[in-house]
Structure 1
Amino acid sequence: MNRIKYVAALGIFGIITTEFGVIGILPQIAQHYQIGMDHAGWLLSGFALVIALFGPWITLAAARFDRKKMMVLTLSLFIISNVLSALAPPFGLLLLARVLPAFLHPLYFSAAIYAAVTNAPEKEKHSATAVIFGGVSIATVLGVPVTSYLASVFTWQTAFAAFGLVNIIAMTAVILFIPPMQAKQEATVGTQMGLFKNRVFLLQAITTSLMIAGMFAVYGYFAEFMEKINYLNGVQISKMLMLFGVLGVVGNWVAGRLLSKSLVATLAFFLLMLSLIYTLLYFINGYTIYTVLLTALWGFIHTGCFLIGQSWISSAAKGAEEFANSLGVAFTNLGIALGTTIGGWVIINFGIQYTVWASIVLVGAALVLTGIRLLNTSSAK
């Protein structure tokens, strides 16, 4: 039974690597198609926007079906997407191939958590969920920098082929090791849809979206930022991404420990640290020890925010946790789409160095909403 959560996490690694791996190769793609970074950025923001708009409803509609079949179907679409992308089709077709599997992205995420928790002993259910989120962390550690490295040594098409191979391995593992899991509808559709009438849930979901948007206004263009502002080459960028990811795993672990003590204090602390990091990013440039240390701190804080955001959303969804997991993924990706779109606009109109100020504004808005949530809680007492 213990291996089920790891197999499910392997699939998470595959789909998150496919989603975020493009961050490390956007400059090469933009150069290949002779397009601006704002247009190339749609390979990330378009993917995220589809998840945000369609993912929860597809997850809700598929609630009656066998979770194993849904996981296999999702990974199949990711494989097809990566094969098509590796062929370097016209940009419009590349964008279509990219967004194709995004429709089922939250479906796999929700099913993976369900598989891990359902097949774990009661006392191990929280740790099983942590393993699933560990797939996100490992994708950041290995997937994104390895993608950048492959593109710098070979071609960006090679990176998409690597994505496809990872998803083939994940799908094979799901077929072999995860048992059939017919869903048991524990919450009614009315209960789940009632989340949209819950003001606390909406406030916390919007806060999470703004935080993620602030993160991706800069991080979505990490490779371009490091190349233009810090003068790094492809191999150096992949090393920085690796450092970013390794510290991110540590940050994810620390965030989990802090969350057990105080969710809101952890959220506020990470938001303040993000604002500080983005401010320093504006003033520190070139390939120096300060850049390396700041990138390490950035990765530490950045990755922990995913777990914090998901926990912040789920904490306001009692009785509809599974649908909330899907909505959490949707609001996170809405933030990714918003952040990368704003970041692309700033790059075209002002220059990539000013994306940090867009991030500061968005993170600041999230911090204000966190304060409003605290005030409401205090007044209710």
Structure 2
Amino acid sequence: MKKYAYIGALGFLAVITTEFGIIGILPQVAAHYHISIDKAGYLLGAFALVIALTGPFMTLLASGFDRKKVMLAAIFIFLITGIVSSFSPPFGVLMFVRILPAFLQPVYIATALSVAVSKGNKQNENELMSIVFSGVAIAMVTTVPFATYIASISSWEYSFMIQAVISIIALLAIYWLLPPMPVNEKKSYGSQLQILTKPTFIVSTAMNFFMVSAWFSTYSYFAEYLTKAKEMNSTMVSYMLFVFGIIGVLANWTAGKMLNKNITFTTAFFLSGTIIVPILLHFSGANTFATIAVIALWGFLYSPSFLNASTYMISSAPHAMEFANSLATSFGNLGVTVGTTIGGWIIVSKGIQLTPWITVVFGTLAFTMMLLRHHLERKAPLHHNPIAPCKLEGTTPI
């Protein structure tokens, strides 16, 4: 039943609007609080770091609760964040309310994925997961660029008001359209923790970390990069976010179909953007039309990254999908933190033009991890088939 997947996607839209909506307004926030752009980047990096450190534990703790109540509680906290942030509180308070929903973000993602696949066909689980993750791409094409545009013509506080409105809509949809979903059987912690001893899972986790670090070393400063390196104004940046996002919707749908056929190839195909996009950004120079074309490609190859990372990690531990998914979320967000931090340091110390090359370095490391996993799987061909799609049988994420 795809209805549950679309409800999960709506909540994901609220989550991503709150987490990444800050990207388009970082320059305005930095100017308002009289801080450097890398300090403003902490609003994104700290959010991701909390997820990285607490994600698996919070997900395991919430695993025994009614899934509908868990989703409602998570989105409610995101709503509070949007409301408080819209009043432009002192920077310390803004940082605190930004961090608060991070504790429940991975819980929401894991629960929404669980709800989506619980009523679906086993052969279409990756496609149902892609519907939930489409909330990321939809946010990139609607709420994130719209919030950036509104901030560019009025004030950055309005961006947070939009985030609050989206959270209210998601909250009402979950409350009215999702039935109570109590957990009938809770898996033991020990059975899930065993995956930490699997070399292929450890390598897959490292691939996830490096891939997300690669993308976010530049993407976290999307507005700053286009403003300084490509000489675009705030309104033009909002248009670029729109282009980025609308291509991303198509990319998530495409990735969902591709993952059902071959997880390894799909992951490598989209990961190639961490090498291709920075090179094209360099050679596009000041040519606006060339830059727009590169941004469109950037949006296509970047947008399914979280979906690909989760599926790639889960495929190495299909019988502990709950814990694998929570670790995918945590290490992905650790990648957000590291990428954002290093990208900010490069901007301050070396210049904004060099940040895309950090993407190349991390992307190369991610490809290295994929090759290492392939080598490990060839040594144990009876235990895993890296060519076939992951069927994820016997359990669903919580």
- Match in the other structure for 1:297: 297
Q: CA RMSD in A?
A: 1.6
- Higher relative helix content: 1
Cα distance change of structure 1 residues 129 and 97 upon mapping to structure 2, 3 Å threshold = same
Code of the residue aligned with 1:333 in structure 2: it is: N
Give how far 1:277 is off.
Answer: 1.0
Unpaired segments of 5 or more residues in structure 2? 382-398
- Residue type at the aligned position of 1:147: A
Equivalence for 2:132: 132
Query: Residue 31 and residue 239 in structure 1: after superposition, are their counterparts in 2 closer, same or farther (change >3 A)?
Result: same
Residue of structure 1 equivalent to 2:237:
237
Displacement of 1:110 after TM fit?
Answer: 1.1
Distance 1:320 1:184 in 2: 17
Mapped partners of 1:190, 1:221: distance in 2: 40
Q: What's the TM-score, normalizing by structure 1?
A: 0.96
Structure 1 379/46 Cα, relative in aligned 2: closer, same or farther at 3 Å? same
Alignment-derived partner of residue 390 in structure 2: none
In structure 2, the partner of 1:208 is 208
Distance (whole Å) between structure 2 residues aligned to residue 376 and residue 343 of structure 1: 32
Q: How does 1:143-182 map to 2 (within 5 A)?
A: 143-182=143-182
Write out per-residue CA displacement over residues 8-36 of structure 1, whole angstroms, 9 at most, x where no aligned residue.
22111101111111111101101111111
**Residue 122 (structure 1) shift:** 5.1
CA contact (8 A) 1:63 1:185 kept: no
Give the direction of change, closer, same or farther, for the CA distance of 1:147–1:366 in structure 2 (3 Å limit).
same
Matches within 5 A, 1:181-220: 181-220=181-220
Q: Report the Cα offset of residue 274 of structure 1.
A: 2.1
Equivalent pair of 2:195/2:201 in contact (CA under 8 Å): yes
Deviations 1:241-265 (A, max 9, x none): 1111111122222223332333222
Question: Who is 1:378 aligned against?
Answer: 378
**Structure 1 residue 125 displacement after superposition:** 4.3
Q: What percent of counterpart residues are identical?
A: 41
Structure 1 range deviating more: 192-201 or 147-156 = 192-201
**1:88 alignment counterpart:** 88
Q: Distance in 2 between matches of 1:147 and 1:63?
A: 34
CA distance in 2, matches of 1:125, 1:350: 45
Paired residue type of 1:236 = M
Match of 2:392 in 1: none
1:368 paired to 2:368: yes
The answer to whether 1:325 aligns with 2:331 is no
Where in structure 1 are there 5+ consecutive unaligned residues? Answer: none
How do 1:74-113 residues align onto structure 2 when only pairs under 5 Å count?
A: 74-113=74-113
Check whether the contact 1:187–1:320 (CA below 8 A) recurs between aligned residues: no
Report the 3-state secondary structure (helix = DSSP H, G, I; strand = E; otherwise coil) of the residue aligned with 1:180: coil
- Provide the secondary structure at the position in 2 that maps to 1:88: coil
Residues of 2 paired with 1:51 and 1:370: CA distance?
24
> After the TM superposition, which residues 201-350 of structure 1 pair with which residues of structure 2 at under 5 Å, given as runs?
201-350=201-350
Q: Which amino acid aligns with 1:221?
A: Y
SS of aligned partner of 2:304: helix
2:56 is the counterpart of 1:56: yes
Structure 1 residue 124 displacement after superposition: 5.3
Residue of structure 2 in register with 1:21 after alignment? 21
Contact 2:243 2:295 in 1 (8 A): yes
Cα contact 1:48–1:336 (8 A) shared by 2: yes
User: How many residue pairs are counted as aligned between the two chains?
Assistant: 381
Deviation at residue 126 of structure 1 after TM alignment: 4.2
Preserved contact between residue 130 and residue 255 of structure 2 (Cα < 8 Å): no
Q: Distance in 2 between matches of 1:323 and 1:285?
A: 44
> How far, CA to CA, are the matches of 1:184 and 1:332 in structure 2?
29
321-330 or 89-98, larger mean C-alpha shift: 321-330
For residues 80-102 of structure 1, give each alpha carbon's deviation from its aligned partner in whole angstroms, at most 9, with x where no partner exists: 11111111111111111101000
User: CA-to-partner distance for each residue in 1:311-331, whole Å, 9 max, x for gaps?
Assistant: 111101221112222221111
Q: What's the TM-score, normalizing by structure 2?
A: 0.92
Aligned to 1:10: 10
SS class of match (1:268): helix
Once residues 287 and 245 of structure 1 are traced to their aligned partners in structure 2, the CA distance between those partners, rounded to angstroms, is: 21
**Contact kept in structure 1, 2:131 and 2:253, CA below 8 Å:** no
- Whether the 8 Å contact between 2:143 and 2:162 is mirrored in structure 1 is no
Matches within 5 A, 1:42-53: 42-53=42-53
TM superposition shift of 1:129: 2.2
Q: Distance in 1 between matches of 2:29 and 2:178?
A: 36
- Work out whether residues 207 and 366 of structure 1, in 8 Å CA contact, stay in contact via their aligned partners in 2: yes
Counterparts of 1:276 and 1:315, CA distance in 2: 26
Q: Deviations over 1:101-158 (max 9, x none)?
A: 0000011111111222223355654443222111122112212211211110121100
Greater shift, 319-328 or 354-363, is seen at 319-328
Question: Residue 22 of structure 1 contacts residue 147 of structure 1 at CA under 8 Å; is this kept in 2?
Answer: no
